[in-house]
Structure 1
Amino acid sequence: MDNFRKIDIDQFDEDVLLETELYEPYPLDPAQALDDAKQKAAAVRSSLSKGDIPGALGTILEGVPYGPNVEDAKTLTLQTLVTILNSTKSSDVSNIVKALSQDQQDTLMKYIYKGMGMPGWGDVSGSVLLGWHEKLTEAAGIGCIVRTLTDRRTV
């Protein structure tokens, strides 16, 4: 009786929209993406040790991994970004966010939402993420949220 629920009806539909048709695939294979994420994490640690938080944030927000096959690189990138967010004084957040480009602001918003979706994970602090979200929304506007929610490239 329940066999009808196990049938994938999309296989019979000619007009089904595949995720691969929505955006270009990530150009690196999973191993290369992980190596790139490790190099960025090392560069971020170096920038943080010098006190260059805007430089560290700019480094991690450029060329972020997306798509379904690079989960390890996405996790490492999120961990590195959370380290940056946690090591920033709340009084400096507004100026740092305003200095980012629109693409960087949108990418940061994606990571903030991803961090909010993982309660109790690692050293993700809800108050830190909400503080960054508030300052980012003030600087980038509601459009940043809309672009983040409608972009199919998940981080």
Structure 2
Amino acid sequence: MEIAFRKIDIDVYDEDVLLEEELYDADPRDPVQVVSETKAKTSQVRSTLAKGDVAGALNIVLENAPYGPDAEEAKNINLQTLLSILGSTKATEIPAILKALSQDAQDTLMKYLYKGMAMPGWGDVSGSVLLGWHEKLTEIAGTGCIVRVMTDRRAV
């Protein structure tokens, strides 16, 4: 029985095929620069958290977040930093912190929450933490936040 036809990449012959680089916008910054900026942000976040300013630390992480297919290392560093902030925040403080964020920051946080939930085993943070933040963020930002995240082409 002939099965060689199953190994043919038919997308090569299709003009209308959608490539991955066409789906997601790339970060215009140099990947090495993005990684160094993200590592600098991580140290800023640690010093801000030491002062007890969770909202300030969250703003630092969410501002100018790396995105696109070329910045995987920076995106992972930023995600781990964000997860450490989320895991160390008391549940009673979450609504006030979320209200202090801008709409863009809220949308970026929602992207990171979904990325954290997509990790196998949910990474270093428990599922209840991510779901708690998701619940509070949806209450404050509304379902429009979810729609904006699902339709945005800048994947964190």
What's the TM-score once normalised by structure 2's chain length? 0.91
Q: Does 1:63 align with 2:73?
A: no
Alignment CA distance shift 1:131-1:70 (3 Å): same
- Note the C-alpha offset of 1:23: 5.2
Rounded to whole Å, the distance in 2 between the matches of 1:3 and 1:146 is 43
Count of residues in correspondence between the two structures: 155
Deviates more, 1:134-143 or 1:66-75: 66-75
Q: Name the aligned partner's letter for residue 132 of structure 1.
A: W
- Aligned 8 A contact 2:26 2:70 in 1: no
**For 1:28-107, what aligned pairs fall within 5 Å after superposition?**
28-107=29-108
- Aligned 8 A contact 2:26 2:68 in 1: yes
Rounded to whole Å, the distance in 1 between the matches of 2:79 and 2:46 is 14
Deviates more, 1:16-25 or 1:30-39: 16-25
- Aligned 8 A contact 2:25 2:153 in 1: no
Q: Which residue of 2 aligns with 1:128?
A: 129
Provide the identity percentage.
66
Deviates more, 1:12-21 or 1:43-52: 12-21
- Note the C-alpha offset of 1:63: 1.0
Deviation >6 Å, runs of 4+: none
- Note the C-alpha offset of 1:46: 0.9
Q: Which residue of 2 aligns with 1:151?
A: 152
Q: Name the aligned partner's letter for residue 125 of structure 2.
A: V
Rounded to whole Å, the distance in 2 between the matches of 1:100 and 1:21 is 31
Q: Could you list the runs of 5+ residues in structure 2 that have no partner in the other structure? A: none
What's the TM-score once normalised by structure 1's chain length? 0.91
Q: Name the aligned partner's letter for residue 150 of structure 2.
A: L
Q: Could you list the runs of 5+ residues in structure 1 that have no partner in the other structure? A: none
Rounded to whole Å, the distance in 1 between the matches of 2:129 and 2:146 is 18
